[in-house]
Amino acid sequence: MVRSLKLASKVAIVTGTGSGIGKATARRFAQEGASVVAVDINETGGQRVVAELQAEGWRVTFVSGDVARADDVRRAVEVAENAYGGLDIFFANAGIATFGTIEETSEEDWDRVVAVNLRSCYLAIRFAAPVMRRRGGGSIINTASVHAFLTAGGIGAYGATKHAVVGLTKAAAQELAADGIRVNAVCPGAVETPLMRSNLRWVGNEEEEYRKIARSAPLGRVGRPEEIAEIVLWLASDASSFATGAPFVVDGGLISRLP
């Protein structure tokens, strides 16, 4: 029996595809039949990943852009329409972390983390919704974090943006439900990516912190980007047709445990 592809004839935008969770999800979407517009601010790294995915035979187009800039997000949506005929899925994944207490955080760093982590999701909704509405529906997935529920001193700006991403997701889901557009948030725990490594280096001894965070999850390990891609695929696909306005935690049990 031939298995039907989960995203056959769908068009998706994935941001932050040059690395980590975005890269794994762009590949997973393409494997399931989607045409993918891959967005990254790192032109060299982003191009390299897209060339890799194209060499594997997937339909992927690269857009160099900053998710915090309206013009760049609008351009990504235009590329989806011009190259692939529309837009069904927007995975707003690109994000950054800043470290330091709230007092130590400069206004510049504060504004940048808010722009990349939160404004980006607002822009994704703003520019994707009209195109999806014309198509009769769609799925928008914002990337939050376990930092949307609990956070820590020293990473407060990041934690604040991730809490806000869940609030934005809930409001957008209500506004867009009548148009058949679902909006959800994925909330990963610790996942093996360069971003997680920079977090560990900031906290202290990287390897020691790695072991500590792995041990603190009931599953006893750090996640792989592919394990986040799997739930994002589910949220993107029609299999999750009754899910909207919700945060989906994928963290190996990390935040279920009392310290």
Report residue 42 as tokens.
Answer: 């790192």
Report the DSSP beta bridge partners of residue 185: 142, 247
Contact flags string 17-56 toward ligand NAD, x per CB under 6 A: -xxxxx----------------xxxx--x-----------
Q: Compare residues 177 and 195 and give the one whose CB is closer to ligand NAD.
A: 195
Residue 247 contacts ligand NAD per CB under 6 A: no
Taking CB under 6 A as the criterion, which residues in 69-128 touch ligand NAD? 93-96, 116
Residue 15 contacts ligand NAD per CB under 6 A: yes
Q: Compare residues 136 and 218 and give the one whose CB is closer to ligand NAD.
A: 218
Buried b (16+ CB within 10 A) or exposed e, 26-53: bbbbbbbebbbbbbbbeeeebeebbeeb
- Candidate list 68, 166, 181, 254; residue touching ligand NAD; CB under 6 A: 68
**Main-chain phi, psi angles of 12, to 5 degrees:** -130, 145
Q: In Å, what is the CA distance from 218 to each residue of 32, 126, 247? A: 31, 38, 20
* Cα–Cα distance measured from residue 214 to residue 229, given in angstroms and rounded to the nearest whole number: 19
CB of 136 to ligand NAD, least distance (A): 29
Residue 136 contacts ligand NAD per CB under 6 A: no
Q: Which of 84, 122, 158, 210 is catalytic?
A: 158
> In 85-205, at which residue ranges do the beta strands (DSSP E only) sit?
89-92, 138-143, 181-188
Residue 159 contacts ligand NAD per CB under 6 A: no
- Answer yes or no: 84 catalytic: no
Report residue 218 as tokens.
Answer: 């009931």
The residue type found at 72 is: D
Binding site residues, ligand NAD, CB under 6 A? 15-16, 18-22, 39-42, 45, 66-68, 93-96, 116, 143, 145, 188, 190-191, 193-196
